[in-house]
Amino acid sequence: MTETFDVVVAGAGPVGLMTACELRLAGVHVLVVERLPDIDPTVKAGAINVPTAEAFYRRGLLPQLLDDHAAKVAAFTGGQPGPQRFFVGHFAGITLDSSLVDFDDPAFGETGPVSEAWFVGQQEIERILGARAAELGVEIRRGVELTGFTDDSDCVTIWLGDTAIRAGWLVGCDGGHSLVRKLAGFDFPGLDPLITGHQAVVEMTGAEGLRPGWNFTATGIYVHNPGPGRILTVQVDGPPADRTAPVTAAELQAALRAVSGVPVEITGVRSATRFTDNTRQVTEYRRGRVLLAGDAAHVHSPFGGQGLNLGVGDAVNLGWKLAAVVAGWARPGLLDTYTAERHPVGEWVLEWTRAQIAVMRGDARSRAMRDVLVDLLATRDGATRIYQKISGVLHRYDLGGGHDLVGAQAPDIELSDGTRLGEHCADGRAVLLDLADSPALRAIAAPWSSRVRVVTAKPAQPRELSALLVRPDGFVAWASDGGIDGLEAALIRWFGQVG
C-alpha cells in the first residue's frame, strides 16, 4: 500500500526542518527525507541574523538559542568575561569594528531579547530544529534518498529508491545541487564561478607563522581561527577542476601554502568543504506542486553567512502559506506571494555576495576599491549601515501602501502585562494585537479566531500605534494608529474568506 502525506520535504538541513516544523505546527501531515544519516559536521554558517533569531523566538525556541550563544561565546573567549558583541561580521573580509556600530539606531529598535542570540552555528540550529520536529511529531527518515518524482497535477508521486510515496506537495530543500530542482526543470540563471575556496578544521604543524583573522595576500586570502585548527582559503585563479571530489589534506595544504606563503603541514582533517562563488537563482520558487527553498532555490558564496538566514526566511514564509493551501482556506494566489516576496530578498543576497567577490579579487582595481571600503567602514555611519544590512533588520516585503509598518518585521512590543508580542506567536497562528481595547476590532476579527489570535493589552510605554496584524512569519499585514479601516480586507487577503 502506497504511503500518503500532505507534504514531503526533501532535505533535513535547517531549511527543511524549519519548513517541516512550520507545516506540522499547522496540522499538516509531513514527511522529511534526508540522504545523510547524521548532521553534516563540515564548517558552515557560524551565526544567525535578527530575522532568523526572531523566527525561533516566536516559536518558543529562544532559550535554546541563548544557551548555544553563551556556550559559543565561552568557547571563543576561553571563558573570560568580555563584551557580547566582540564580532559583528565582515564585508569582503573587512571586519566591522563593533565599537563603531550605533546599536541605538532606530533600525535596531524593539528587536527584544533576540539581540543576544546571534552567535549560533548551523549545526546547533539543526540540533534545535531536530528536537523541535520530534516534539511536534514530524516524521524524519535519514539515510533515505529521493531518486525521482512525477507531478500529476493533483498530487506528486515521489520515489525513494524502489518505494513510492504520494503527497499533495513536494518541497525541495536539498541544497545547491538540488535533484528536486533539476528534475522539476526550474530555470536557474546566474554567473559562473571565479574562485576556489576551502573551509576546514584541521590538525597542522607550522601554524605559528599564520596571522590570525582575515589576511589578504598577493595570491589570495586566508583566515586562521576562530577556533583551533580552523582555516579558510580563497584562491582567485578559477573554480576547482572537480567540485565533487573529496577534499584531501594535500589539497588543503597546497591551498593554504599558496595563499599564505607559510610552509604549514596539515597532518589531519576533521572536517572540510570546498566552495566557489557560483551565484544562481531560480526565476520562480514554484512549478506546479513542487516548491523550492534555501540553497535549492539560490546559491552564492558563503561570505557573510547569509545562506542559512536566507533559507530560514524562505521556510517561515512558505510554511504557513502552504499549510493554508493544504487546509483549504487559502485565497487564490496566496502561494504565489512566496516567490513574489522571497525572490527579491534572494536577489539582494546574490548581489551582496557578488560585490564582496569583486572587492576580494587581487587585481589592482579590486585592491583600490577595498582601500576605499576600509576607510568607509572605519566610520560610524559606514559600519552601522553595513551591519544594518547583514543583520537583516532592514528586510521588508512590498505588501502595498497603508501604514509604514506594513511589510516590515513586527516590532517586539513590550506589553503592560509583562509579556512581549513575540511570546504570543508560539502556536503558529497570526496575531492581531489590540492596543486600544477596541470591541469593534475584536468583532471584525472574531470569525477568523481559528487562524488569528487576538491579543488585547496596553503597551508598556505610550505609543501612537493602536493595532497591529502580524502574519505567522512575523511580518506586519496591517497596522493602524487609530480606527479599523482596512482590517477586514487584510484579514480576507491573508487568511481567506470565512463563513
C-alpha cell at 368: 583600490
Are 152 and 284 part of one and the same domain?
A: yes
Give yes or no for residue 199 having a pLDDT over 60: yes
Phi first, then psi: give them for residue 386, nearest 5 degrees.
-65, -40
Are 226 and 299 part of one and the same domain?
A: no
Asked, for residue 398, whether it belongs to a domain, the answer is no
Asked, for residue 473, whether it belongs to a domain, the answer is yes
Q: For 156-175, write each residue's pLDDT tens digit.
A: 999 999 999 999 999 999 99
Give yes or no for residue 45 having a pLDDT over 80: no
Asked, for residue 401, whether it belongs to a domain, the answer is no
H runs (alpha helix) in 96-222: 122-136, 179-184
Are 224 and 324 part of one and the same domain?
A: no
Are 164 and 205 part of one and the same domain?
A: no
Asked, for residue 396, whether it belongs to a domain, the answer is no
Tell me, what's the pLDDT at 471? 98
Give yes or no for residue 478 having a pLDDT over 90: yes
Domain total of the chain: 3
Last residue of one domain, picked from the residues 254, 276, 298: 276
Find the range with the poorest average confidence among 64-78, 88-102, 213-227, 360-374. 64-78
DSSP state of 382: H
Stretch 190-212: mean pLDDT:
93
Distance CA 275, CA 175 (A): 13
Are 250 and 356 part of one and the same domain?
A: no
Q: For 77-122, write each residue's pLDDT tens digit.
A: 665 555 445 567 889 989 899 899 999 999 888 887 888 887 888 8
Stretch 344-366: mean pLDDT:
93
Q: Which residues lie across from 232 on neighbouring strands?
A: 199, 223
Task: Name every residue whose Cβ is closer than 8 Å to that of residue 23 and which is 6 or more positions away in sequence.
Answer: 6, 7, 9, 30, 319, 322, 323, 326
What residue numbers bound the domain in which 469 lies? 408-495
Asked, for residue 121, whether it belongs to a domain, the answer is yes
Distance CA 339, CA 356 (A): 25
Nearest to 169 by CA among 292, 48, 7, 27: 7
Distance CA 396, CA 306 (A): 16
Phi-psi region of 38 (alpha: psi -120 to 50; beta: other; left: phi over 0): beta
Stretch 192-214: mean pLDDT:
93
Task: Please report, for the domain that includes residue 8, its CATH number.
Answer: 3.50.50.60
**Beta strand pairing status for 139-142 and 30-34?**
parallel
Tell me, what's the pLDDT at 202? 94
Q: For 404-415, write each residue's pLDDT tens digit.
A: 999 999 999 999
Distance CA 339, CA 344 (A): 8
Stretch 203-230: mean pLDDT:
89
Are 88 and 152 part of one and the same domain?
A: yes
pTM across the whole model: 0.94
Q: For 50-83, write each residue's pLDDT tens digit.
A: 999 999 999 999 999 988 888 877 766 665 555 4
Task: Name every residue whose Cβ is closer than 8 Å to that of residue 137 and which is 6 or more positions away in sequence.
Answer: 24
Are 254 and 298 part of one and the same domain?
A: no
Give yes or no for residue 192 having a pLDDT over 60: yes
Task: Name every residue whose Cβ is closer than 8 Å to that of residue 401 and which is 6 or more positions away in sequence.
Answer: none
Tell me, what's the pLDDT at 306? 85
Q: For 378-431, write each residue's pLDDT tens digit.
A: 999 999 999 999 999 999 999 987 899 999 999 999 999 999 999 999 999 999
Tell me, what's the pLDDT at 71? 81
Task: Name every residue whose Cβ is closer than 8 Å to that of residue 326 and which is 6 or more positions away in sequence.
Answer: 6, 7, 23, 26, 28, 168, 169
More confident residue, 291 or 1: 291
Asked, for residue 403, whether it belongs to a domain, the answer is no
Q: Which residue in the block uniquely carries the three cell numbers 531549511? A: 15
Last residue of one domain, picked from the residues 335, 356, 391: 391
Find the range with the poorest average confidence among 40-44, 162-166, 218-222, 248-252. 40-44
Distance CA 103, CA 111 (A): 11
Roughly what angle, to the nearest 10 degrees, separates helices 122-136 and 62-77?
Answer: 160
